[in-house]
Structure 1
Amino acid sequence: MAVHYRTEGIVLATRDRGEADRSFTIYTKDFGKLEVWAISERKITSKLRGGLEKLCWSEIEFINGKSRKTLTDSSFKERYHNIRKNLQKLRVATRMAETLDETTSKEERDEAAWLLLLESFSTLGNLQFPAASCKLLYYYFFWNLFSHLGWRPNLASYPFELREILQSFLAKNTSVLYTLQIEKGTSKALYEAARSHYLSVIKEVQ
């Protein structure tokens, strides 16, 4: 008899498979990143419809097959409506999901990465969180994730103002996300620093 596993996670990506199946890449609390197949999920009559969507937090149940994990049940914990109805927030949530997907291996439990993802999505979904600060939240997520995974930046190599911002991020000082006002030049520097660091890491792991 197949063993059923239960956990919770945030859906990073979805892919249509065959005529009616769909696979979900989910970052989970207990198993890290998983790819789970939902058989016939795209059929209107499927009992699996309505419990999983991209960028939503769900509880899932699955069984381990010889070649893949198969979804048997799912239900929403949080659909993050405040993210989905705001284009800026939706873009940032998508970038977070893509970054986590690209930099983590499958089936490696990582509580710190899970909590960082959950914290970042919860902050982004907060009605009080200003849309203007969305990019800062992405950089907060980016630098904390990369540092946790072993790719901490050499802060001494950055200009003073940029170094101060990165230090605040790495100290998990979320208050700066609500109060920090940055000039256009600093915003560009944040983007270029993250892009350069990302490319160097991706080159290293490939």
Structure 2
Amino acid sequence: MTSDEVLDEFRASGALLEGHFRLSSGRHSAHYLQCARVLMNPARASRLATALAARIPDDIRGALDAVVSPAMGGLVIGHEMGRALGLDAMFLERPEGEFHLRRGFSLAPGAKVLMVEDVVTTGLSSREAIAAVAREGGEVLAEVALVDRSGGSADLGVPFYPLVSLDFPTYAEGEVPSELEMIPVTKPGSRAV
């Protein structure tokens, strides 16, 4: 699946939004990718997961024991990646600010894990999720994501295979351009900043 085909999936589902958005990272942007919308159609979610699974090198793919994703954003694509790879899919939650496996999920000691995210902007949530897997006894071999918004700058500490990389500018709180500042800010994600 090409970058244009991936973006067509986002556009067709109304998941590529324009305006003034505060991202989960706290940064501001004129673009927002609402992955929940692109993944709400099971056939589309399956197509995207299959394309994402094809990005994983065979040596990593063959060594995996489980798929783990952070809730909320990674839940649906994580589940679909588990289906595409024939692996169990679990998710991390942060009920008190730190990621943990809950709901009876557990990893065997030394389990080889694929981390699955919807969007990576700064990589902070991914690094926190990878650290949580290590605390739970597993080892993250690689991460995949539908979208890399970092411009290739996110250092996750593991190989990273996004389906598409986008270069939508983001801005820190004091750096928002005046034309963007004039638009009321929206926080469409699942986490308060």
TM superposition score normalised by structure 2: 0.25
Structure that is richer in strand per residue: 2
TM superposition score normalised by structure 1: 0.24
Highest CA radius of gyration, 1 or 2?
1
Structure that is richer in helix per residue: 1
